[in-house]
Amino acid sequence: MARPQAGAELPVAIVGAGFSGTLLAINLLRNGMRVVVIERDEAQIAKGLAFGTRRPEHLLNVRASNMSAFPDDTGHFLRWMGFSDAEQANRFVPRLAYGHYLREQLLDALAAAPGRADVRQGEAVSASFAPDAVTLTLASGETVRCRGLVLALGNLPPSRLPQLADLPGDLHIRNPWQPGAIEGLGDDDHVVLLGSGLTTVDVVLALDAAGFRGRITALSRRGLKPHGHAESGPAVGAVARPAARGSQLVREVRARAAEIGWRAAIDELRPHTQDLWRGHDESAQRRLLRHLRPYWDIHRHRLAPPAAARIAALEEEGRLRFVAGKVTGAEASDGAARISWRARRSDRIETVTAQRIISCIGPEGDITRSHDPLLRDLIEQGRVRPDAHRLGLDVDAAGHVRDAGGEPQNQLFAAGPLTKGEGWEIVAVPDIRRQVWSLARYLANAHWVGGEGL
Ligand SMILES: Cc1cc2nc3c(=O)[nH]c(=O)nc-3n(C[C@H](O)[C@H](O)[C@H](O)COP(=O)(O)OP(=O)(O)OC[C@H]3O[C@@H](n4cnc5c(N)ncnc54)[C@H](O)[C@@H]3O)c2cc1C
């Protein structure tokens, strides 16, 4: 590898130390690089949002056998857990255990690379670019000089629904992960959760585990809820990438589901979903998002069987219901919120009173709506732009972030869920571990010639 003289000692800076940033750092260190990782939330270092939970009832939604952090050592997590038989490999382990696993991998990687790694607590708020270096500024005023910058910011927090804009913050919790989000409720209270995906399930299980005995309504456009995994593991073999596209592809998957079961039919597609996405042009991708996405999500992102069983039991007891509709308005009255929605495929307006509304509507994808100071700064400089579907950042297949004019940049990269627009399935560990492993190799082999780039 031809290494440049100028800036040769500068590290690669990674903003964000969730799964994406942490595994990228570990892989870069293994490739002999220098890294500095910046994370604003100390408790989340190496764990990020998903695996920083302290709640044991929050289980992984992927079997232990598929949760190795390393694509070149698929049994790594199983060995770390001390799991050796098939029954154990099939388990859905608490996410907090996985957080410990990640933290340990980071500590081991730091110990094995003395003088080459630096993990700092702080919030990156701006970046300036010169031909030989990037200078990152933290909220504290501290600066970090690096040869290249990787954005591993995770998902953007959900946006506030305009219909709920007038509700006070104690009645409408915008961020379901914020401290106190589920505290202070009485047994006669009613909680409305907006959304019905995995975050909603997390909140329901947390309310239940915290002893909440009141009613919960989960309201979403279609009223769909995630399906559960089968008790025993998938036994899908490798299949060739389907040749069909669009609705023909959907018909083929349905036919396959009738043959081998829907779970196996979806699992068979997993190794091919990124290529299938890339094989559709922008308008076909748009149609997939509009018509297929909600159904894909509930079949693809499944619940661990114990979580699915608890959700079913709560529904049966009448404590939890899923309803389909679109929020039409909300107002505060006597310490509660009156929230209304139009029921799906009907003109009927339903109104209920809730002591708390918790937004679980999923991340904001449109970076132009983000209030994140670093993203705002990069947008203002024309360094980043939204992807065509506003799922995140516009990046190329190698991870270069495209500037406002569409040019891939040699000093700015991204990893993790914000790159969804490029490969669609970059949301879970099995996809991200491959992405950051490849990005680390790419960065390690890059010719970091001042200004000319890769
Ligand atoms: C609740 C939940 C459960 C999940 N469960 C599973 C599962 O069971 N199995 C699975 O495979 N996948 C799961 N996933 C999906 C996937 O694993 C995660 O989305 C993945 O961990 C994403 O990691 P990340 O590092 O990209 O993002 P994050 O974990 O969000 O980390 C990003 C980090 O960047 C930091 N940050 C952002 N901006 C700045 C800044 N300007 N300066 C400094 N720091 C900054 C944030 O504080 C954060 O810690 C789950 C996701 C969620 C949300």
Per-residue pLDDT at 23: 98
- Assess whether 152 and 182 both reside in one domain: no
- Assess whether 266 and 375 both reside in one domain: no
> What's the gap in Å between 66 CA and the centre of ligand 1?
18
- Ligand 1 atom nearest residue 122's Cα: 43
Q: Which of 359, 376, 391 is the last residue of a domain?
A: 359
Is 382 a domain residue?
yes
pLDDT band, very low/low/confident/very high, at 235 (cuts 50, 70, 90)? low
- Assess whether 144 and 289 both reside in one domain: no
Per-residue pLDDT at 451: 42
Is 376 a domain residue?
yes
Q: Is 363 in the pocket of ligand 1 (CB under 6 A)?
A: no
Nearest CA, atom 25, ligand 1: 18
| Average pLDDT of the segment spanning 176-187 | 90
Nearest CA, atom 34, ligand 1: 16
- Assess whether 20 and 117 both reside in one domain: yes
Q: Is 419 in the pocket of ligand 1 (CB under 6 A)?
A: no
Q: Is 202 in the pocket of ligand 1 (CB under 6 A)?
A: yes
- Assess whether 264 and 221 both reside in one domain: no
Question: Do residues 93 and 60 lie in contact, with contact meaning Cβ atoms separated by under 8 Å?
Answer: yes
Nearest CA, atom 20, ligand 1: 19
Look up the domain containing 82 and give its range: 12-157+364-444
Per-residue pLDDT at 355: 96
Q: Is 337 in the pocket of ligand 1 (CB under 6 A)?
A: no
Report how far apart, in Å, the C-alpha atoms of 271 and of each of 2, 241, 265, 415, 430 are. Answer: 34, 8, 12, 19, 10
Q: Which of 152-161, 190-199, 203-212, 238-247 has the lowest mean pLDDT?
A: 238-247
- Assess whether 332 and 429 both reside in one domain: no
Nearest CA, atom 33, ligand 1: 16
| Average pLDDT of the segment spanning 232-259 | 78
Pick the residue with more confidence: 33 or 8?
33
Nearest CA, atom 26, ligand 1: 154
Is 172 a domain residue?
yes
Q: Is 154 in the pocket of ligand 1 (CB under 6 A)?
A: yes
| Average pLDDT of the segment spanning 289-316 | 86
- Ligand 1 atom nearest residue 19's Cα: 25
Nearest CA, atom 30, ligand 1: 154
Q: Is 38 in the pocket of ligand 1 (CB under 6 A)?
A: yes
Look at residue 6 and tell me whether its pLDDT is greater than 70.
no
- Ligand 1 atom nearest residue 429's Cα: 11
Instruction: Count structural domains, the chain.
Output: 3
Per-residue pLDDT at 263: 80
| Average pLDDT of the segment spanning 403-423 | 96
Domain CATH for 351: 3.50.50.60
- Assess whether 44 and 144 both reside in one domain: yes
Is 270 a domain residue?
yes
All residues at 6 or more sequence positions from 39 whose CB lies less than 8 Å from its CB, including other chains? 16, 17, 21, 45, 119, 120, 121, 122
Is 450 a domain residue?
no
Is 43 a domain residue?
yes
Question: Do residues 25 and 37 lie in contact, with contact meaning Cβ atoms separated by under 8 Å?
Answer: yes
Question: Do residues 246 and 287 lie in contact, with contact meaning Cβ atoms separated by under 8 Å?
Answer: yes
- Ligand 1 atom nearest residue 41's Cα: 47
> What's the gap in Å between 342 CA and the centre of ligand 1?
33
Nearest CA, atom 32, ligand 1: 154
- Assess whether 62 and 128 both reside in one domain: yes
- Assess whether 151 and 171 both reside in one domain: no
| Average pLDDT of the segment spanning 356-362 | 92
Q: Is 64 in the pocket of ligand 1 (CB under 6 A)?
A: no
What percent of the chain has pLDDT above 90?
Answer: 67
Question: Do residues 396 and 360 lie in contact, with contact meaning Cβ atoms separated by under 8 Å?
Answer: no
> What's the gap in Å between 337 CA and the centre of ligand 1?
31
| Average pLDDT of the segment spanning 286-300 | 82
Q: Is 44 in the pocket of ligand 1 (CB under 6 A)?
A: yes
Is 52 a domain residue?
yes
- Assess whether 191 and 141 both reside in one domain: no
- Assess whether 215 and 348 both reside in one domain: yes
Per-residue pLDDT at 234: 56
Q: Is 429 in the pocket of ligand 1 (CB under 6 A)?
A: yes
Q: Which of 282, 300, 318 is the last residue of a domain?
A: 300
> What's the gap in Å between 153 CA and the centre of ligand 1?
8
SS (H, E, C) 1-51: CCCCCCCCCCCEEEECCCHHHHHHHHHHHHCCCCEEEEECCHHHCCCHHHH
pLDDT for 58-84, tens place per residue? Answer: 999 999 999 999 999 999 999 999 999
Is 112 a domain residue?
yes
Q: Which of 318, 338, 359 is the last residue of a domain?
A: 359
Q: Is 427 in the pocket of ligand 1 (CB under 6 A)?
A: yes
Q: Is 378 in the pocket of ligand 1 (CB under 6 A)?
A: no
Nearest CA, atom 14, ligand 1: 428
pLDDT band, very low/low/confident/very high, at 250 (cuts 50, 70, 90)? confident
Per-residue pLDDT at 442: 95
Per-residue pLDDT at 1: 31
| Average pLDDT of the segment spanning 38-60 | 93
- Assess whether 381 and 341 both reside in one domain: no
> What's the gap in Å between 19 CA and the centre of ligand 1?
6
> What's the gap in Å between 348 CA and the centre of ligand 1?
38
Look at residue 371 and tell me whether its pLDDT is greater than 80.
yes
Per-residue pLDDT at 248: 85
